[in-house]
Amino acid sequence: MFFVDTIELTGLGNRSYLAGGAHTAVAVDPPRDLDQVIAAAVRRGVRISHVVETHIHNDYVSGGLELARVTGAAYLVPAAADVAFERTAVRDGDTVEIDSGLTLRAIATPGHTPHHTSYALQEAGAAVAVFTGGSLLLGSVGRPDLVEPRLTERLARAQHTSAHRLAEELPDETPVLPTHGFGSFCTSGGHSEGDHTTIGKEKSGNPALVQDVDTFVAELLAGLEDVPAYYAHMGPANAAGPAQIDLTPPAVADADAIAARLAAGEWVVDLRSRVAFAEGHVAGSFNFEADGMVATYLAWLIPWGKPVTLLAESPEQLATTQRELTRVGIDRPAAAAVGGPESWIRDGETPASFPRATFADLAKRRGDDVVVLDVRRDSERADRYIEGSVHVPIHQLYKRLDDVPAGEVWVHCASGLRAAIAASLLDAAGREVVAIDDGFAAATEAGLTVPTG
């Protein structure tokens, strides 16, 4: 009998896997904080004999090299991947024994990257699962534009070919186990309902398997949106071989140190809820909720290499966020503080604040001279938008604050999360801001004019 355990990386929208038999197991696309993979192996009572990468990842720092070192496992990486460390080079058709009667077969599936490789888990020679990495996803495929612009169309066509190869070689009932596609920006868009799929299900609805190659490529390329800025640093880090992570608590910052770091132009990031932040915060700090894809959005917006000080409401919140940030290459916070604004500001100072509102509140103010700022992505804006609003996607706002017209700014997104980040950026810049903490569907219900893009 075999098992497959899923390790969720919800903040990044990714998954890793541990699969094996009675005695040994393989870890597939492990995260940098590898302790949870080791814990999964301990729960199963197995030894990790192999660690495999489907590709050199562009969206997170891999823990594969370190996991192989710690466990003594063989480290399998596609042969065509250009890496600076020793590994077992994997080529199309290679097989390795994971446990008695349980093997892993490499299937070349270029598209997400030129060297991308999927792995079919076989029991007694029959496929029982396939680890597809950034190839075949749930209702989609991994985006083909993360390697080199001149290769994008060629890789898009390769995605179509690779998806068909998997569909032709594997039985319909084979579970498809991708790394990306659960909110990750590595996906090319689209997602089937649910969080599990099979080859047969994908054959009936995945665009790569139901469209001809030209239609598929044209729609795939037309739907690609901006790539998170930090992705540019992930591939090189993984190719070089990531350093061992350090999750020990960072240096403690008192009120004077926080003020000094702000004065030096460093980033001070408040991890509390957007409600708590709006009610009171350190002037000049930014709000990235710990429960709101903090690693993705902070790594996307912060100038790469800029020192960051974290403000958390509890040691647990701080530790969890520190762990998430290491996954995207923000290895060590410069400093940190736990508590609340009363302990983060100097004597004689008062916390900064700004109001929160709903779309119904905005509807009452539309006759006034207010600026409505939409920080959603281009595709969201193209679907529907508030008439007269200004559009600056959240990931561009820090560098485009001067593009926001003068006046009181009412900022919105689709749910309130990104609006809170944007409101904190504007507030830190000295703008008068109102954060709309509301679902976008409420804009129409409030009577605002919401045409299509």
Write the burial class of residue 103 (CB in 10 Å: 0-12 exposed, 13-18 middle, 19+ buried). middle
Q: Supply φ then ψ for residue 420, to 5 degrees.
A: -65, -40
Task: Give the pairing of strands 3-9 and 14-20.
Answer: antiparallel
Answer yes or no: are the C-beta atoms of 104 and 85 closer than 8 Å. no
Answer yes or no: are the C-beta atoms of 268 and 284 closer than 8 Å. yes
Enumerate residues 6+ apart whose C-beta is below 8 A from 121. 2, 4, 19, 98, 102, 103, 104, 127, 128, 129, 130, 131
Give the pLDDT score at 12: 87
Give the pLDDT score at 215: 98
β-sheet with 47-52: strand ranges across: 3-9, 14-20, 24-28, 47-52, 74-78, 88-90
Q: Token pair of 214, please?
A: 């030209």
Query: Mean pLDDT for each 10-residue chunk of the chain (453 residues)?
Result: 93 93 98 95 98 97 97 98 97 98 98 98 97 97 94 98 98 97 76 80 97 98 93 96 94 98 98 98 98 93 97 97 96 97 96 98 87 96 95 97 96 97 98 98 95 83
Number of H helices, E strands in the chain: 17, 21
What pTM value is reported for the model? 0.93
State the greatest distance between any 2 C-alpha atoms of the chain, in Å, as a whole number: 73
Helices (H), 179-311: 199-205, 207-210, 213-222, 231-240, 255-263, 274-279, 294-301
For residue 156, the SS3 value is helix
Enumerate residues 6+ apart whose C-beta is below 8 A from 65. 75, 85, 87, 241, 242
427 closest CA partner among 298, 280, 314: 280
